[in-house]
């Protein structure tokens, strides 16, 4: 399917051409077209241009207007204010453009990026033997959407789940499991949700017991420390026990991702341990190039602008004085892998803003080593932390249980599903849905609500986790969008044999024009949200789409429209809106059930 040129792009092009013939030096200048309340579009690029050319902006605008050919797309163009251009477009071009998008149900005419590359996106990175919490939710939800948005623009996306599967804490876990070999056993043949929960409850119990013993028993502590050394030196038995922790944890992770309705693939899980073979080489390269220096035995990188509260520089420690490697060495090795083996052009890290200093130092180190490019050179590999804020409780403080513990992600998800199921049940006043359907819809609505609440504010901001608000039918929620979609499907079903069909010859109601112009803007939103790794822009677009649809529906009867052509055309408007909603929601990782 050929991509469709959006109306704003074709108007912008016509204005740019007119501008260039009115003023030769304006060749290539962007007329800066925006949607506007006064007309369909307003261009305000002439002001700056006239100022530069020392011309009168209104005169220049008038000249541009005289160059524009009206008819097909532009119906009317006039100068307004100090030199703005107000543009009204024809009803016919709106309907024709939407018809072209409608003919491409998958992509809705959205073009691919001009120069797609390869992006490695690091997201959904929980830690082995530990419960997942709301921070892991944010990384998973934002990362999944960013990955899908990028893929939709034609980018090659490599997913990496940098799970925490290495570190000194494994010494006590391994030793404890060896001394209590059945601690991780659970029944076979359960479904993924049951095995996931059983695995996690074993891991959690074992973790706490091992920690208690480690703190209380000096001899156990010594044995545990020895196992850290064994693990690092690759002792096969120690590695096999370590692997059990990883395998059990993965069962749990996959159960949570399943609940989250998110596809995570095993080969994309490359945890910290996946870079063990590269660590020594990473250190050697950094030391030989002088990027890192030895300081009190540790291998460190220093930065002029990074100092602690005492005014002393805070280094990035790549290797500790005892020879151990930490989080930084792993991340630096992962960069080498992603740049040189995976041949990435861009690296995106969906990680909590509280790790920003770490990434700032890691990126700067990689830049000095020549693994990442200088920011000002376009062809170089760039790294970006898509940093997200904290999830807060209703009290505005970081989300905790009443006892002050971290809230288990599964508990939250279950509660969201319960609430949503109640809403679905309540809404089904005619009792049309079976119990099974209610449960399925409840899950889609509940998980959608949690994802949407996370995605609809810009990632770097904190947000309050408020389930009442999340599953509300009114306001900026996924439920509202899902209902808009389901309502359209119900109209299409009611239409029976009458099929949606575009009739470009029909005059449009203002509510139809507003809806149509917004649908046409989908491609622009995709491009922007993908380029800026900003799913919240897609969420805002979809919310507005549903609102415009609601006011169209209030003002324009569909099945009871005056003529048969009008019925068909309005059904077509409904359907193209539904497809856009469906596509956009899928890019956020949210389902749009056909019936609610
Ligand atoms: N596992 C870490 C955590 O739970 C996040 C890992 C982020 N990715 C990375 N490449 N460092 O906080």
- Is the pLDDT score of 283 beyond 80? yes
**127 CB near ligand 1 (under 6 Å):** yes
- What confidence category does residue 379 fall into, taking pLDDT thresholds of 50, 70 and 90? low
- Is the pLDDT score of 374 beyond 80? no
Q: What is the pLDDT of residue 541?
A: 98
- Is the pLDDT score of 378 beyond 80? no
Q: What is the pLDDT of residue 489?
A: 98
CA of 130 to the centre of ligand 1 (A): 13
Ligand 1 atom closest to Cα of residue 331 = 10
Element (H, E) at 511: helix 510-520
**60 CB near ligand 1 (under 6 Å):** no
Kindly state the percentage of the chain with pLDDT values over 70. 99
Q: What is the pLDDT of residue 491?
A: 97
- What confidence category does residue 596 fall into, taking pLDDT thresholds of 50, 70 and 90? confident
Q: What is the pLDDT of residue 444?
A: 97
Pocket test for ligand 1, best of 351, 352, 358 (most atoms within 8 A of CB): 351
- What confidence category does residue 525 fall into, taking pLDDT thresholds of 50, 70 and 90? very high
Q: What is the pLDDT of residue 375?
A: 60
Question: 408-444, pLDDT tens digit by residue?
Answer: 999 999 999 999 999 999 988 888 899 999 999 999 9
What pTM was estimated for this model as a whole? 0.95
**162 CB near ligand 1 (under 6 Å):** yes
Distance (Å, whole) CA 126 – CA 128:
7
- Is the pLDDT score of 370 beyond 60? yes
Q: Which residues contact 534 (CB under 8 A, 6 or more apart)?
A: 458, 459, 528
Q: What is the pLDDT of residue 180?
A: 97
**160 CB near ligand 1 (under 6 Å):** no
CA of 349 to the centre of ligand 1 (A): 9
The phi and psi torsions of 499 (rounded to 5 degrees) equal: -100, 150
**351 CB near ligand 1 (under 6 Å):** yes
Kindly state the percentage of the chain with pLDDT values over 90. 85
CA of 273 to the centre of ligand 1 (A): 13
Q: What is the pLDDT of residue 312?
A: 87
| Averaged pLDDT for residues 512-535 | 97
**122 CB near ligand 1 (under 6 Å):** yes
Whole-number average pLDDT of the chain? 94
Question: 108-150, pLDDT tens digit by residue?
Answer: 999 999 999 999 999 999 999 999 999 899 999 999 999 999 9
Pocket test for ligand 1, best of 132, 134, 159, 162 (most atoms within 8 A of CB): 162
β-bridge mates for residue 313, sequence order: 307
Question: 46-82, pLDDT tens digit by residue?
Answer: 888 888 888 899 999 999 999 998 989 999 999 999 9
For the domain made up of 410-587, the CATH class stated in words is: mainly alpha
**315 CB near ligand 1 (under 6 Å):** no
Distance (Å, whole) CA 448 – CA 442:
10
- What confidence category does residue 190 fall into, taking pLDDT thresholds of 50, 70 and 90? confident
CA of 351 to the centre of ligand 1 (A): 6
Q: What is the pLDDT of residue 50?
A: 85
CA of 368 to the centre of ligand 1 (A): 23
Q: Please, where are the H alpha helices in 260-326?
A: 279-288
Q: Which residues contact 224 (CB under 8 A, 6 or more apart)?
A: 171, 172, 174, 175, 176, 210, 214
CA of 366 to the centre of ligand 1 (A): 18
- Is the pLDDT score of 221 beyond 80? yes
Q: What is the pLDDT of residue 183?
A: 95
| Averaged pLDDT for residues 461-469 | 92
Burial letters 192-224, b for 16+ CB under 10 A, else e: eeebbbbbbebbeebbeebeebbeeeeebbebb
Question: 309-320, pLDDT tens digit by residue?
Answer: 888 889 999 999
CA of 272 to the centre of ligand 1 (A): 9
Quote ipTM for the complex.
0.99
DSSP per position, 371-395: SS--TT-TTS-EEEEEEE--EE-TT
Question: 527-579, pLDDT tens digit by residue?
Answer: 999 999 999 999 999 999 999 999 999 999 999 999 999 999 999 999 999 99
CB of 568 closer than 8 Å to CB of 491: no
Domain ranges of the chain: 7-89, 118-392, 410-587
Q: Count the neighbouring beta carbons within 10 Å of the beta carbon of residue 389.
A: 16
- Is the pLDDT score of 376 beyond 60? no
Nearest to 61 by CA among 77, 46, 51, 39: 46
- Is the pLDDT score of 493 beyond 60? yes
CA of 275 to the centre of ligand 1 (A): 14
Q: What is the pLDDT of residue 23?
A: 84
For the domain made up of 118-392, the CATH class stated in words is: alpha beta
Q: What is the pLDDT of residue 377?
A: 56
Q: What is the pLDDT of residue 406?
A: 84
Range 7-89 has CATH code 3.30.1360.70: yes
β-bridge mates for residue 391, sequence order: 463
């Amino acid at each position: 399917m050929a991509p469709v040129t959006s109306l704003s792009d074709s108007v912008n092009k016509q204005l740019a051409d007119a501008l260039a013939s009115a003023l030769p030096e304006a060749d290539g200048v962007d007329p800066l077209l925006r949607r506007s309340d006064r007309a369909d579009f307003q261009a305000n690029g002439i002001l700056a241009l006239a100022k530069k050319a020392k011309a009168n902006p209104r005169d220049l605008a008038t000249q541009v207007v005289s160059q524009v050919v009206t008819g097909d797309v532009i119906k009317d163009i006039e100068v307004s204010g100090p030199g703005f251009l107000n543009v009204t477009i024809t009803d016919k071009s709106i309907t024709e453009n939407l018809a072209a998008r409608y003919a491409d149900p998958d992509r809705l005419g959205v073009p691919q990026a001009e120069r797609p590359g390869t992006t490695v996106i690091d997201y959904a990175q929980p830690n082995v033997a530990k419960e997942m919490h709301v921070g892991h939710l944010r990384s998973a939800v934002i990362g999944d959407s960013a990955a899908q948005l990028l893929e939709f623009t034609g980018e090659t996306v490599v997913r990496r789940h940098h799970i925490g599967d290495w570190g000194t804490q494994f010494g006590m876990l391994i030793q404890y499991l060896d001394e209590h070999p059945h601690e991780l056993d659970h029944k076979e043949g359960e479904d993924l949700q049951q095995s996931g929960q059983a695995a996690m409850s074993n891991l959690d119990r074992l973790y706490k017991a091992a920690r208690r013993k480690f703190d209380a028993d000096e001899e156990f502590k010594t044995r545990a420390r020895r196992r850290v050394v064994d693990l690092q030196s690759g002792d096969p038995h120690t590695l096999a026990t370590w692997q059990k922790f990883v395998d059990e944890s993965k069962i749990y992770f996959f159960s949570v991702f399943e609940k989250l309705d998110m596809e995570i693939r095993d080969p994309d899980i490359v945890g910290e341990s996946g870079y063990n073979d590269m660590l020594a080489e990473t250190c050697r390269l950094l030391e030989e190039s002088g990027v890192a220096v030895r300081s009190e035995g540790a291998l460190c990188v220093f930065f002029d602008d990074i100092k602690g509260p005492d005014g002393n520089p805070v280094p990035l420690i790549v290797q500790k004085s005892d020879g151990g490697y930490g989080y930084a060495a792993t991340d630096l090795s992962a960069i080498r892998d992603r740049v040189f083996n995976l041949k990435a052009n861009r690296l995106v890290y969906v990680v909590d803003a509280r790790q920003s200093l770490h990434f700032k130092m890691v990126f700067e180190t990689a830049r000095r080593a020549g693994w990442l490019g200088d920011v000002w050179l376009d062809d170089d590999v760039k790294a970006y932390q898509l940093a997200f804020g904290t999830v807060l409780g209703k009290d505005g403080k970081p989300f905790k249980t009443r006892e002050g513990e971290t809230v288990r992600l599964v508990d939250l998800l279950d509660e969201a599903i319960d609430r949503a199921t109640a809403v679905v049940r309540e809404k089904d006043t005619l009792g049309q849905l079976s119990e099974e359907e209610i449960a399925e819809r409840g899950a889609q609505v509940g998980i959608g609500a949690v994802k949407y609440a996370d995605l609809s504010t810009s990632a770097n901001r904190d947000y309050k986790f408020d389930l009442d608000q999340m599953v509300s039918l009114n306001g900026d929620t996924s439920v509202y969008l899902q209902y808009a979609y389901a309502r359209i499907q119900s109209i299409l079903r009611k239409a029976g044999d009458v099929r949606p069909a575009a009739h470009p010859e029909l005059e449009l109601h203002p509510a139809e024009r507003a809806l149509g112009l917004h649908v046409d803007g989908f491609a622009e939103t995709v491009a922007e949200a993908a380029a800026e790794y900003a799913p919240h822009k897609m969420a805002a677009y979809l919310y507005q789409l549903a609102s415009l649809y609601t006011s169209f529906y209030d003002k324009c009867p569909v099945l009871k429209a005056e003529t048969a052509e009008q019925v068909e055309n309005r059904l077509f408007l409904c359907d193209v809106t539904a497809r856009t909603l469906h596509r956009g929601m899928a890019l956020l990782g949210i389902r749009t059930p056909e019936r609610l």
